[in-house]
């Protein structure tokens, strides 16, 4: 578990078994290339579901299909009890979607931005709803400040407040904390856990492993294909990855020696340590034996981290541009 999370990583109350998202075989192609290929997922009410994968892996396209912004070329399923093909309008009314890029108006104040969103969704008691949203996200003192003058963390809060104005049943968050400082990220995730505890369902895409570990379940997608899903512990266990940590002098030279050896699938620097990993424990240990015998390095077999597993998946996934 990342040190950045501290003791804030404890999971909230377990979600229910009622499916909010249940889709099978989703496929979307552009120019003859499947950017999402036969994707299936089930997300239960009150669940925080992490959606991970490299840039260009199809995460955003999948999220847009789930909330009715894109129609899949193949596949079926429901979101919030509505058919994702036939009932996109109903789905949109009950979903809060936070995009990667800040999409509110820089030259409007925070209150004016939220009032505009409330009008779009025809929120009842609009003035009170805006006031409540500002207070809930700690924005009330800045209500007259122009949105364009906010820092990244405060823009993130405003965007989340806008997503919650119409009391959605599902939040779709597309890399919401990109470029935000660690303190703001932690506060954001505390808010997400509070919302999930109240029964709101959250599907969130992220590149941060500490954030992935705070989710109830994870799905990892690369080049349009689902490679793994389950809890963080299940994903690590299912990978079968064995990892050794090595410390000592001149680790860069050691990494060059190790790469390409039988059983050595990854050699990744982590500060003053190298992580050396492979799926075949016996073959990996055989290749490492002469290096372990050296006295200038210290070797320890460790539990593979989520980051080790995801880097491994990324390195072996087939690029759908090729």
Co-location of 109 and 40 in the same domain: yes
Q: How far is CA 171 from CA 42, 77, 160, 226, 299, in A?
A: 15, 18, 9, 21, 44
pLDDT reported for residue 317: 62
Q: How far apart are CA 202 and CA 185, in angstroms?
A: 16
pLDDT of 10 > 80? The answer is no
pLDDT over threshold 90, residue 185: no
One domain, residues 176 and 286: no
- Token pair for 19: 């499916």
In this prediction, residue 8 has a pLDDT band, given cuts at 50, 70 and 90, of very low
- Domain of 162, CATH number, reads 3.40.50.300
Segment 273-302 mean pLDDT = 94
Residue 314: inside a domain, yes or no? no
- Does residue 130 share a domain with residue 10? yes
- The count of residues in the chain is 322
Res 12: pLDDT:
44
- For the segment 17-42, the average pLDDT, to the nearest whole number, is 92
The mean of the pLDDT values for the chain is 89
Statement to judge: residues 137 and 271 lie in one domain: no
Q: What is the CATH number of the domain that holds 298?
A: 3.30.70
What is the H or E stretch that residue 298 is in?
strand 297-302
Quote the pTM value.
0.84
pLDDT score of 321: 54
pLDDT above 70: residue 319: no
* 250: containing domain: 242-303
């Amino acid at each position: 578990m990342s040190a950045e999370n501290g003791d804030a990583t404890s999971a909230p109350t377990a979600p229910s078994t009622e499916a909010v998202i249940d889709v099978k075989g989703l496929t979307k192609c552009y120019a003859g290339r499947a950017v999402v290929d036969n994707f299936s997922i089930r997300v239960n009410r009150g669940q925080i579901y992490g959606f991970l994968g490299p840039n260009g892996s199809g995460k955003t396209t999948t999220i847009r299909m789930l909330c009715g912004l894109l129609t899949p070329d193949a596949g079926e399923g429901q979101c919030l009890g509505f058919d994702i093909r036939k009932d996109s309008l109903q789905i949109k009314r009950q979903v809060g979607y936070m995009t990667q890029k800040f999409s509110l108006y820089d030259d409007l104040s925070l209150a004016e931005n939220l009032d505009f969103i409330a009008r779009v969704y025809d929120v009842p008691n609009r003035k009170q709803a805006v006031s409540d949203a500002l207070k809930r996200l700690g924005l009330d003192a800045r209500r007259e400040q122009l949105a364009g003058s906010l820092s990244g963390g405060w823009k993130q809060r405003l965007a989340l407040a806008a997503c919650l104005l119409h009391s959605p049943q599902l939040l779709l968050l597309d890399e919401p904390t990109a470029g935000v400082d660690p303190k703001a990220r932690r506060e954001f995730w505390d808010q997400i856990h509070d919302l999930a505890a109240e029964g709101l369902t959250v599907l969130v895409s992220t590149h941060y492993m500490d954030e992935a570990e705070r989710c109830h379940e994870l799905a990892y997608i690369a080049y349009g294909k689902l490679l793994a899903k389950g809890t963080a512990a299940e994903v690590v266990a299912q990978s079968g990855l064995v990892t050794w940590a090595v410390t000592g002098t001149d680790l860069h030279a050691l990494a060059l020696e190790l790469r390409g050896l039988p059983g050595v699938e990854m050699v990744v620097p982590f500060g003053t340590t190298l992580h050396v990993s492979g799926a075949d424990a016996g073959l990996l240990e055989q290749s490492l034996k002469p290096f372990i015998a050296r006295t200038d390095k210290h070797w320890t077999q460790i539990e593979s981290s989520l980051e080790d597993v995801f880097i491994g998946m990324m390195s072996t996934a087939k690029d759908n541009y090729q």
